[in-house]
Structure 1
Amino acid sequence: MFRKTNPLQSKSEILLRNITVTGMILFYTVFLLVPIGIAFAGSFHEWNPLSGIYRFNGIENYISVFTSALFGKSMLNTLIFSVVVIFFRVGLGLAIAIAIYSNLIKHKSFFRAIYYMPVVTPMVAVAFVWKFLYNPQIGAINQILGLDINWLMNPKTALLAIMIMTIWKDFGYAVVMFMAGLYSLPSDAMEAARVDGASSWQTFKYLTLPLLKPMTLFVVITSIISYIQAYVQVLILTEGGPGTATYLSSYIIYNEAFVKYNFGYASAMSFVLFVITAVFTWLSFRVSGDSE
C-alpha cells in the first residue's frame, strides 16, 4: 500500500501504518458506507423488519414524503427551531467569549469550564431536569417568575420551551470556539488599532468580527447539521406534542422507524433531510462569501 520512501522508516512502522489505514477503511466501509447503501435501497421499498416485509414500491415513499402535511409542518418547526437556537447560540457565545477574553474577567479557565459543562452533559439528563423545571405545579421556572404556564402542554409555548433548553445546553460550545478564535487573533493588528486610537467598538466591528468570520461560519455550519438532526429533547419533553406543535423532522424519522417500524418511509425521509442539510450548508457558505 505504501512504499518505503524515507530510509529512517523501519519495516514495522510501514506495517503499522498500513494496518491502521486498512482498519480505518474497513471500519468506515462496514459501519458507514454499507448501512447508508442498505438504507438508500430500503427507501425504495415497503420495509418492515418485524413482519419481514421488503417489497419494492419505486419512488412511492419519496412521493409520500413530499406530499405529507406532517412532514411539511415538521420542516417548518425545524426551520424555526434551528434559526432561533443558532442565533442565540452564536450571539450569546460570542458575547460571553469576549467578556471572558477581556482584561476585566479573572479566572478565565474557571468560567470556560463552567459554561462548557452543560455541553458535555448528556442531552437525556439535561432534558429530564428541564422537564421537571417546566412542571406547571412544582417547577422552579413558574415559581421563580411567578407564572402559571403549562410550558410543555401549551402549543404556544412548547417549542419555545425546547428552544430555551437547547440554547442553555449548547451555547457553551460557541463560547469555547470563539475563545479559541480570539486567542488566535494577530496581536500586532490589535495593537496597531489601539495605537491608531480605535475605540473598543471600532476594533470589534472592523477587526475582531471580520477575523472571527471563519470561526463563526464553523459554529453556524456545525449547528445547522446538529439541529436539523435534533430529536432527543423533543422525545423526552413533549413526544412531539401537544398535537404536532413540536414535531421536528428527525423526530418523525425516529417515530416512523422505531415506533411504527416503517423503515422504508423513514429511510426516504432521512435522505430528503440529508439533501436539505447539504443545501443549507452550501447556502451558509454562499452567504458568508467563502464559496466560489
Structure 2
Amino acid sequence: MKIALSQVNPAFWFLSPALTLIAVFFFLPVAASLLLSFTDFDIYALGDRERLRFVALDNYLRLLRDPLFWNALKNTLYFVLVGGPLSVAVSLGAALLVNHRLVRFKGLFRSLLFLPVVTTLVAIAVVWRYLYHPRYGFPNYVLGLLGVGPIDWLGDPDWAMPAIILMATWKNFGFNMIIFIAGLQSIPARLYEAAVIDGANTWHQFRHITLPMLGPTFVFVTVITMIGYFQLFAEPYVMTRGGPANSTLSVALLMFQEGFRWWNLGYAAAIAFTLFLIVLAGTLLQLKLRRKEV
C-alpha cells in the first residue's frame, strides 16, 4: 500500500537534508573504505584500475603478522592506559578547584584552563618541543637545579612517549574539566549539608557523595577520552614523526604512513577498521562495567 506524501511526518522533510548529507559524506565513504580494505588498492591501481584486485581477508591477515602494527598497538595502548586516566584525574582535580565556593573569578580561571583545548596543536607542539630541548628546556633546567643530568625527552625511546602523554594531558584536560564542572553543579547542595550535620569530613563527602553522583559523568568522560586517545596521531606526527625507533608510532600514524606515504590504501583501510573494532570493544566493555556497578 503506497503512502501519500501528505501522510509523511513533517519532521522527515526537515531532517532529510541533514540525513542526506550524513549519508553522502559519512556512510558512503565508510562503506567505500570497508570495501577498499578487501582489495590491494595502491598507487598502481590509481593509474590502472585493472591492477585492482580483490584479496578478501589478506590485508587483515597481513596485519596480524606485521610486527610494526603490534608495536604501534602497544604504543597506543600505553598512551591510552596511562594518558587517559591521568587526563581524567587532572580534569576532575581542576574542576573541583575551580568549582570550590571559596574561589573567586571562577569564569576567568575556567577560560584560562580551557585555552589549551582551542589552541592550535602545531603552535603547542612548537612551544613544547622547545620546553623539551635537551639543553635549554625548562624541565632539564629544573632537573639541573636538583643535580640531575639532562634528559633527551623526545630523542630517548624511554622518555618520548611519557613526554607526549604529558603534553596531551595539558592540552586536553580543559574539555573534560568543563564537563565535570557541569556534573558537580548538578549535585544537590542539601546532600553536603546533611553530610556535614552527620559529621562527615571533606574526604568522606568526596568519596560518598561526589564520586557516586558523578558516575554518569565519569562514564561519558572516560569513553570520550578513550576514543580520542586511541586516535593518537597529531602529537607524534608533529613532534617525533613516530620516532625515535618507532617508540611513539601509533596505530593512526601507521595508518597514515601506509596510506599516504607508501600508498597502500587497501592495507591502510584494514588498519582503520581494526582500530575501529578495538575502540568499539573498549567502549562496550566500559559500558558493561558501568551497568554492573549500577
Counterpart residue identity of residue 174, structure 2: G
- Summarize the alignment of residues 1-292 of structure 1 with structure 2, pairs less than 5 Å apart: 3=7, 14=10, 18-49=12-43, 50-52=46-48, 53-146=51-144, 147-289=149-291
Residues 182, 212 of structure 1: 8 Å contact kept: yes
Q: CA deviation at 1:55?
A: 1.6
Partners of 1:101 and 1:284 lie apart in 2 by 27
Residue 46 of structure 1 aligns to a residue whose secondary structure is coil
Deviation readout 1:261-286 (Å, 9 max, x if unpaired)? 11000000111110110000011112
Residues 43, 265 of structure 1: 8 Å contact kept: yes
Counterpart residue identity of residue 246, structure 1: T
Residues 259, 265 of structure 2: 8 Å contact kept: yes
Residues 240, 251 of structure 1: 8 Å contact kept: yes
Q: CA deviation at 1:176?
A: 1.0
Partners of 1:84 and 1:241 lie apart in 2 by 19
Partners of 1:66 and 1:266 lie apart in 2 by 13
Partners of 2:267 and 2:114 lie apart in 1 by 37
Q: CA deviation at 1:194?
A: 2.2
Residues 2, 18 of structure 1: 8 Å contact kept: no
Q: CA deviation at 1:287?
A: 2.1
Residue 55 of structure 1 aligns to a residue whose secondary structure is coil
Give 4+ residue runs of structure 1 displaced > 6 Å after superposition: none
Q: CA deviation at 1:4?
A: 8.6
Counterpart residue identity of residue 111, structure 2: A
Counterpart residue identity of residue 282, structure 1: L
Counterpart residue identity of residue 118, structure 1: P
Residue 215 of structure 1 aligns to a residue whose secondary structure is helix
* Normalised TM-score (structure 1): 0.91
Q: CA deviation at 1:19?
A: 4.6
Counterpart residue identity of residue 108, structure 1: K
Residues 45, 58 of structure 1: 8 Å contact kept: yes
Q: CA deviation at 1:157?
A: 0.5
Number of residue pairs matched by the alignment: 282
Where structure 1 has 5 or more consecutive residues not aligned to the other structure, the ranges are 6-13
Q: CA deviation at 1:109?
A: 0.8
Paired-residue identity, %: 33
Deviation readout 1:61-96 (Å, 9 max, x if unpaired)? 000111111111111111110111111111111112
Residue 56 of structure 1 aligns to a residue whose secondary structure is coil
Across the aligned residues of Structure 1 and Structure 2, the Cα RMSD in angstroms comes to 1.9
Partners of 1:213 and 1:290 lie apart in 2 by 12
Counterpart residue identity of residue 78, structure 1: T
Residues 285, 291 of structure 1: 8 Å contact kept: no
Residues 161, 247 of structure 2: 8 Å contact kept: yes
Partners of 2:159 and 2:234 lie apart in 1 by 18
Q: CA deviation at 1:259?
A: 0.9
Q: CA deviation at 1:291?
A: 8.7
Counterpart residue identity of residue 39, structure 2: H
Q: CA deviation at 1:181?
A: 0.4
Q: CA deviation at 1:189?
A: 2.2
Deviation readout 1:192-245 (Å, 9 max, x if unpaired)? 222222211111111110000111111110011101111011101111111111
Partners of 1:20 and 1:80 lie apart in 2 by 45
Partners of 2:53 and 2:163 lie apart in 1 by 41
